[in-house]
Amino acid sequence: EIVLTQSPGTLSLSPGERATLSCRASQTIISSYLAWYQQKPGQAPRLLIYGASTRATGIPDRFSGSGSGTDFSLTISRLEAEDFAVYYCHQYGTPPTTFGQGTRVEI
């Protein structure tokens, strides 16, 4: 199965700063079938990005995804207080679908 490695494990930033989260795959992810999810404490995950770069419905444009092959990233252009959460990348191109271990974005 494809292993997704996210870095860093924890990102300590302030509101207004830019956050860049990385997701590296152990094999090429076909057709850029890579998604990003946000999970806040006590809540279910929420889809942010799919197809590596397409924002899900209702997701603010400060969230953007990029990458292809084995290297992908999620950028939050200007952090807002509500963005402090755990972010997971997720590949769904090669069965079984797998998730990264998560990056915590904290103040």
Residue-by-residue DSSP string for 38-82? EE-TTS--EEEEETTTEEPTT--TTEEEEEETTEEEEEESS--GG
35 binds other proteins (CB under 8 A): yes
Report how far residue 95's alpha carbon sits from residue 107's, in angstroms, rounded to the nearest whole number: 36
Q: Does 104 bind other proteins (CB under 8 A)?
A: no
Closer to other proteins by Cβ: residue 7 or 101: 101
Should residue 100 be labelled a site residue for other proteins when binding is judged by CB under 8 A?
Answer: yes
Residue 102 near other proteins by CB under 8 A: yes
* Shortest distance, position 76 Cβ to other proteins, whole Å: 19
Which of 13, 33, 70, 73 touches other proteins (CB under 8 A)?
Answer: 33
CB 35 within 8 A of CB 11: no
Q: Count residues contacting other proteins (CB under 8 A)?
A: 23
Give the C-alpha separation, 95 to 75, whole Å: 26
Cβ atoms within 10 A of the Cβ of 47, count?
15
Residues that bind other proteins (CB under 8 A): 1, 33, 35, 37, 44-47, 50-51, 56-57, 88, 90, 92, 95-102
